[in-house]
Each structure stands twice: as structure tokens, then as C-alpha cells.
Amino acid sequence: MFRGEITINVDEKGRMAIPVRYRPQLDSLCAGRLVVTISLLHRCLSVYPAPDWLRIEEDLRRLPALDQKAQSIRHLLIGHANECDMDGHGRILLPQSLREFADLGKKVKMIGQASKFELWDEAVWAAHREDLLARVDDILDSPTAAVSELVL
């Protein structure tokens, strides 16, 4: 559902407009209810339609309660998760604590990741993309079996 790279402005209140092309899909899929949380791998935010997030949250709840790694993952992902409802103008309000985590300023890159999208600081995304492109030979040299079947 979400693909591509889009530059989005965040206003002084922390609101950003969901691109128009996604709004009808999000209205029908989740009535405009999204969940925003931190990424475990990068200083960016992950944004999920609420039904997709609820499945992830249920999987996280099933992890062993006394497993320290599982508890850490739950603390980070569920503990930072915030529901964000699209308003009548297609905007969501990004909590300040999450904007600070990802160091999001006025210009944000929305990076489609199929069932979710990520929000990156514009400069951080540019550097990360360049790093990935510089390593693409190494990445493709030993991809996981699933990636090999899709890409190669």
C-alpha cells in the first residue's frame, strides 16, 4: 500500500498531512486511525494502520513475559506507540517525544514500506540511503533466501 519517497512538511504544532493518494485507502482500512512508534533499527518513526499495529502488538504480547529481550522490545515498541487519528484535513499529530526521538524537523521524508511507512529527518534519510547504495553489492552478495527469490 505504501511505496515511494515523499517529502512532507511538519508544522509548528507537530502536524503532518498524509499524502492525498493514501487517504481513501486509510479511511476504508482503518477509518484514519494510525499508530506511530519508534523504529528499533534506526532513528526514525514507523507508522502503521491501526489494524496492522494491533496484530503486531498481539504478537508482542505473546512473547515470554520473563524473557528480558522480549520485555525490552515490548518496552520500546508498545511503550512508544501512540494512536494518531487523521483529522478532516488528512493530518495527524506526531507527539513531541517521538519527533524528538527521530530528530524530525520541518522537512520529513515519508518512506513507503508496503504495509507501513517510516518518517525520517530529511538529511538523515539522505545519508542512510547513500550508505545503503554504497553497500548494495555486499547486501546482494549474501541476501536472505526470501530476498534472493524476490530481487535476483
User: Which amino acid is it at 30?
Assistant: C
Domain ranges, ordered by start, for the chain: 5-121
Distant-in-sequence, close-in-space partners of 95: CB < 8 Å, separation ≥ 6 = 14, 36, 82
Radius of gyration over every alpha carbon of the chain, rounded to an integer in angstroms: 16
| One pLDDT digit (tens) per residue for the chain, 152 residues | 899 999 999 999 999 999 999 999 999 999 999 999 999 999 999 999 999 999 999 999 998 888 899 999 999 999 999 999 999 999 999 999 999 999 999 999 999 999 999 999 999 999 999 999 998 888 888 766 555 454 44
Query: Phi and psi for 52 in degrees, rounded to 5?
Result: -65, -40
Second-level CATH architecture of 5-121? 3-Layer(aba) Sandwich (3.40)
Amino acid letter, 11: D
The grid coordinates of residue 87 equal 483529522
The CA–CA distances, whole Å, from 142 to 113, 132, 135, 147 equal: 21, 14, 12, 10
Cα–Cα distance measured from residue 152 to residue 143, given in angstroms and rounded to the nearest whole number: 10
Q: How many CB atoms lie within 10 A of CB 36?
A: 23
